[in-house]
Amino acid sequence: MNDKKHRPEWVPENATDGFTTEIVKGKEQNSPARSRKFVKKKERSTEEYVQGIRKGDRAILAQAITLVESNAKRHEEQAQAVINEILPHAGNSIRIGITGVPGAGKSTFIESFGSYLCEVGHRVAVLAVDPSSSITGGSILGDKTRMETLARNRNAFIRPSPSGGTLGGVNRKTRETILLCEAAGFDVILVETIGVGQSEVVVRSMVDFFLLLVLTGAGDELQGLKKGIMELADALLINKADGENKQRAMVARGEYNRILHYLQPATKGWSTKAYTASALYHEGMEEMWKIVLRFIEITKASGVFSERRNSQTKAWINAMINDYLETSFYNHPAIKSQLPILENKVVKGDLTVTTAVKELIRLFEA
Ligand SMILES: Nc1nc2c(ncn2[C@@H]2O[C@H](COP(=O)(O)OP(=O)(O)O)[C@@H](O)[C@H]2O)c(=O)[nH]1
Ligand SMILES: [Mg+2]
């Protein structure tokens, strides 16, 4: 190490080891093109992102989404700058949410419906909301194979659910991704709910039209299906209406329509009805699209469309504030140390819940 050849020229002759800076022989760059790409990828300017998205450059769009999904503080600033720039070009799409129990055929439907839409001249972006993906590692693998044809279509863009983080985090990332896709010229956005639980409500809060995929046969399903989810839907689609199941699907359609008749409609001025389709055999796709178009026409004329978008934006603001406050509360050092102690006191009956909470808030605000 003391070999003079390895010492930089600015090091004095009589310098001790402590002073010395070592020189490590540089590695030969064997592929300048590759290294240039690497540097570019790492340090794309906000302008480059914006231009690329506006041109519909899918690689840049994908990178911008990665930026938006990053939890790193330094990425957040640039992501917000990009979104700010593209915002005037966002919003011009029909946003459709697709929900249903696992196995109902959501991914297959998206493959078939998305391909149909591309065929008739649309550009389709497919996103997924999966708040559980941080635990399960995501269900993307299965989805990719279900969407093989669509994934190869030049007019389609498929993005798996952002992994990790809270429901609030997934919520923000998906909403911002929708804006980026719209600015890149995608005029139909399909959002699939993957995780079970709260993802239906989250997706409903970011789309114009909400589609519930259901199955026939199982009378239990009709019973077990949460009325609450049916009340979120703008249409029910009985999928797998093919082969021997076709007849049963027609019967189920009548049953569902009878139930829907008594439920609160999800959208003012629109009555939610049941339809049949076969995603696997590409039947009913055109009919479904006509229903969506009629829905958009009616709600735009009545003002319900823009009312919903506005209230969704306001709800997003509130959700982010709640998320921020909750995170900063539970990460506050005083709360971290005092919460378990006060909880214990309450459990033992030494303190009332209200007193404990007030004390915690006092510590938080101090
Ligand atoms: N017969 C029939 N099978 C279907 C149809 N749609 C989906 N499936 C099958 O149902 C299974 C689950 O579909 P998938 O799209 O992964 O459901 P997801 O979990 O809701 O996304 C797969 O084996 C599909 O091939 C359909 O219209 N008809
Ligand atoms: Mg799926």
DSSP string, 61-82: HHHHHHHHH---HHHHHHHHHH
183 Cβ inside 6 Å of ligand 1? no
Placement of tokens 């019967």 in the chain: 251
- Map residue 94 onto helix, strand or coil: strand
**Neighbouring-strand partners of residue 128:** 192
| Side-chain half-sphere exposure of 166, counting CA atoms within 13 A | 10
Q: Which amino acid type is present at position 229?
A: I
Q: Write down the pLDDT at residue 228.
A: 82
Q: Write down the pLDDT at residue 73.
A: 86
Q: Write down the pLDDT at residue 46.
A: 96
Q: Write down the pLDDT at residue 21.
A: 47
Nearest CA to ligand 1 atom 9: 105
Which has the closest alpha carbon to 167: 200, 118, 141?
Answer: 200
What Cα–Cα distance (Å) separates residue 292 from each residue in 270, 285, 287, 323?
11, 11, 9, 33
Which has the closest alpha carbon to 131: 168, 158, 106?
Answer: 168
Cβ atoms within 10 Å, residue 154: 8
Q: Write down the pLDDT at residue 24.
A: 47
Pocket test for ligand 1, best of 101, 108, 193, 199 (most atoms within 8 A of CB): 108
Instruction: For residue 140, report the distance from its CA to the centre of ligand 2, in Å.
Output: 8
Nearest CA to ligand 1 atom 1: 240
Token code pair at residue 325: 């406050």
C-beta of residue 99 within 8 angstroms of C-beta of residue 106: yes
Domains and CATH numbers, the chain: 38-89 (1.20.5.170), 90-302 (3.40.50.300), 318-365 (no CATH)
Q: How do 209-214 and 235-238 pair as beta strands?
A: parallel
Q: Which amino acid type is present at position 349?
A: G
If you compute the radius of gyration of the chain from its CA atoms, what whole number of angstroms results? 27
- Map residue 266 onto helix, strand or coil: coil
Q: Model pTM?
A: 0.83
Q: What is the pLDDT along the chain (366 residues), one digit of tens a residue?
A: 444 445 544 444 555 554 444 444 444 444 444 444 444 456 799 999 999 999 999 999 999 999 999 888 889 999 999 999 999 999 999 999 999 988 899 999 999 999 999 999 999 999 988 766 554 444 454 556 678 899 999 999 999 877 666 777 788 899 999 999 999 999 999 999 886 677 888 899 999 999 999 988 655 555 556 678 899 999 999 999 999 999 999 999 999 999 899 999 999 999 999 999 999 999 999 999 999 999 999 999 999 999 999 999 999 999 889 988 998 999 999 999 999 999 999 999 999 999 999 999 999 998
Taken in order 203, 208, 212, 213, is the CA torsion positive or negative?
negative
Q: Write down the pLDDT at residue 10.
A: 45
Nearest CA to ligand 1 atom 24: 105
193 Cβ inside 6 Å of ligand 1? no
